[in-house]
Chain A
Amino acid sequence: DAGVTQSPTHLIKTRGQQVTLRCSPKSGHDTVSWYQQALGQGPQFIFQYYEEEERQRGNFPDRFSGHQFPNYSSELNVNALLLGDSALYLCASSLGLADYNEQFFGPGTRLTVL
């Protein structure tokens, strides 16, 4: 049973560039949430996708956008990168939107903006 997978593992970009991160959810899961984790901090919720629509969004600017595909995989796009966007980006999958469903996290993508 494949868990949550993310690609790439590491990425280095320069300020102003754009980046796309990818996530495949755990088998059987239909909901994908994205989190940003700065060094020494807890994960910060970016947004959540269910049925190919953005269902909830955290306090992130419009530079952060996403997409969910019919096979439930998801992409996170960040435009006009800033130095402060350097972080570990985590994808988590779950089944549905209920409060009591555990989220399974992927290994993350480490983004460095120079």
Chain B
Amino acid sequence: QQPVQSPQAVILREGEDAVINCSSSKALYSVHWYRQKHGEAPVFLMILLKGGEQKGHEKISASFNEKKQQSSLYLTASQLSYSGTYFCGTEKGGKLIFGQGTELSVKP
């Protein structure tokens, strides 16, 4: 079952904050977050694991609510380089099921 992301798209001015949400109808064991710029490969941002463990970049924060089967990615003080499509992926044994993506545009 594909996770559902919201919003589908968001436009920010530099310095503004954004939250991207990822919901699943199935129990989540881990949630992976990736960013993909146009014409490029997805780049790993963060993994959140059941039990609260996280692996990822220091400047990116995220939450994982196991009971609600949701994860949220928090982008603070956005920079132009944050622009791209953000994907969440739910994983079982290495098989990543990605959401449809959230397109983020940061304007000067």
Contact = CB atoms under 8 A, between A and B. Distances in A.
B105 interface: no
A103 interface: yes
A99 B91 contact: yes
Contacts of B44: 102-105
Given A90-B41, A99-B29, A99-B30, A42 B94 contact: no
B72 to A, nearest CB: 17
Contact of B101 (A35, A42, A50, A101): A42
Interface in B14-47: 29-30, 32, 34, 40-44, 47
B53 interface: yes
A48 interface: yes
A94 interface: yes
A40 B100 CA distance: 8
Interface string A18-58: 00000000000001010100001111110010100001101
B93 A99 contact: yes
A100 B98 contact: no
Interface range for B: 20 to 34
A107 B98 contact: no
A108 B36 CA distance: 12
Contacts of A50: 94
A80 interface: no
B43 A45 contact: no
A97 interface: yes
Nearest to B93: A97
A43 B36 CA distance: 11
B16 to A, nearest CB: 25
Residue picked from B29, B97, B99, most chain A C-beta under 10 Å? B97
Interface in B38-97: 40-44, 47, 49, 53, 55, 87, 89, 91-97
Interface of A: 4, 31, 33, 35, 40-45, 48, 50, 55-56, 58, 90, 92, 94, 96-108
